[in-house]
């Protein structure tokens, strides 16, 4: 298997919708309440219940357009991942087929551009036995460098023991688990003003981190590496409050340490939209746990993800190199 180049910035938060996956959603999604259509010149638009995502732009689907955008941004590698609407809505057989179809498209993308594109495989987490099987299968595909799941799966939190066999298999492979919000807490309250994304997404990451900590998953799987999007969302800012709860409440004591002890069990991307957020992460978590991301290419994505780091006025040069490329290359085994 060809390896990516040993230098150049790596974007770990870059979404991708292969045509083979979209074709399956178009054919079978409406029976499950999920529809998508291609808006002329603007890319795919998804409708899941009352939630509409997009249109998302042709660069999500077209690899040549993506590579041109990467070149323009000075990004060497994208770690490709699925996003809304994921596939947990799809039931058992279709969910398994959608995951396999997406992951095989990741492998094709990597084979076509081995120095530029790697994959974060998606899993049918709503059927944990199928997810275990897909972990083993996808890990053998060209270019797969990690796995990607939502911050909750339908109505189940990530601390649900049903998911533990999945974590066990991922941990054994030594590959990272990337999280991303799909459906957010309090969605009706957040429906206006784009708050589903602006507030809902970062709180989802905090909730998922708290469940993984207090639910014992991180103790049970001490070598499992988890990556939080959107600079960790609210989690790194509220970890002191979680710590205070652990110190004062007997019912929260059933874990190996306080929440502060788990800060560095996670990696965090740079998508905080403030140089002060990046300052805080580097100070509190460490530059070696921060990864460059863009959220390619949602409306609020970083257009210049490298410059967000390289032009930061207070980061040391070694920290900038670690964040833009070195950390991701180590984590993703590039």
Question: Please, which residues have CB within 8 angstroms of residue 329's CB and are 6 or more apart in sequence?
Answer: 4, 6, 10
113: in domain: yes
The token pair that represents 277 in the structure block: 């957020």
Phi, psi of 39 (to 5 degrees): -85, 125
Residue 325 has pLDDT above 80, yes or no: yes
Q: Is residue 1, in this structure, part of any structural domain at all?
A: no
**5 domain residue, yes or no:** no
Within-domain flag for 40: yes
Q: Edge to edge, what strands does the sheet with 34-39 contain? A: 34-39, 43-48, 51-53
Domain coverage including residue 55: 10-331
Query: In the chain, how long is the greatest CA-to-CA distance?
Result: 57
Strand, helix or coil for residue 27: helix
The pair of structure tokens assigned to 238 is: 């509220």
| Residue 3 in domain | no
For the chain, how many structural domains are there in total?
1
Q: What is the pLDDT of residues 249-307, one digit of tens each?
A: 999 999 999 999 999 999 999 999 999 999 999 999 999 999 999 999 778 899 999 99
Residue 35, beta-bridge partner list? 47
Query: Any idea which of 7-16, 58-67, 191-200, 322-331 has the lowest mean pLDDT?
Result: 58-67
Q: CATH number of the domain that 127 lies in?
A: 3.20.20.140
Task: Write out pLDDT tens, residues 124-183.
Answer: 999 999 999 999 999 999 999 999 999 999 999 999 999 999 999 999 999 999 999 988
**How many Å apart are CA 38 and CA 56, to the nearest integer?**
9
Closest to 226 (Cα-Cα) out of 242, 213, 240? 213
Report how far residue 255's alpha carbon sits from residue 219's, in angstroms, rounded to the nearest whole number: 7
The predicted structure's pLDDT at residue 187 = 87
């Amino acid at each position: 298997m060809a390896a990516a180049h040993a230098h150049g910035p790596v974007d770990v938060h870059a979404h991708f919708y292969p045509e083979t996956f979209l074709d399956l959603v178009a054919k079978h999604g409406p029976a499950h309440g999920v529809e998508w259509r291609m808006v002329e010149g603007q890319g795919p638009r998804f409708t899941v219940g009352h939630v509409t995502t997009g249109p998302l732009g042709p660069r999500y689907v077209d690899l040549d357009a993506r590579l041109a955008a990467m070149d323009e941004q000075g990004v060497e590698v994208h770690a490709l991942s699925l996003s809304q609407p994921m596939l947990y809505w799809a039931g058992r057989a279709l969910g398994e087929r959608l995951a396999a179809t997406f992951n095989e498209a990741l492998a094709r993308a990597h084979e076509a551009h081995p120095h530029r594109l790697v994959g974060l495989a998606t899993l049918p987490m709503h059927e944990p036995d199928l997810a275990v099987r897909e972990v083993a299968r996808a890990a053998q595909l060209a270019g797969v460098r990690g796995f990607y799941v939502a911050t909750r799966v339908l109505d189940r939190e990530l601390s649900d023991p049903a998911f533990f066999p999945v974590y066990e298999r991922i941990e054994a492979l030594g590959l990272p688990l990337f999280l991303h919000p799909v459906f957010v807490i309090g969605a009706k309250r957040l429906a206006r003003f784009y708050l589903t994304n602006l507030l809902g997404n970062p709180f989802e990451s905090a909730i998922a981190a708290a469940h993984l900590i207090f639910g014992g998953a991180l103790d049970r799987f001490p070598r499992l590496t988890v990556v939080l999007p959107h600079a960790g969302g609210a989690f790194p800012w509220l970890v002191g409050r979680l710590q205070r709860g652990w110190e004062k409440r007997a019912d929260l004591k059933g874990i190996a340490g306080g929440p502060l002890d788990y800060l560095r069990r996670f990696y965090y991307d740079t998508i905080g939209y403030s140089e002060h957020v990046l300052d805080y992460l580097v100070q509190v978590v460490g530059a070696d746990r921060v990864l460059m991301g863009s959220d390619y290419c949602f409306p609020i994505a970083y257009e210049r993800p490298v410059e967000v780091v390289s032009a930061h006025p207070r980061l040391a040069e070694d920290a900038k190199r670690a964040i833009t490329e070195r950390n991701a290359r180590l984590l993703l085994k590039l």
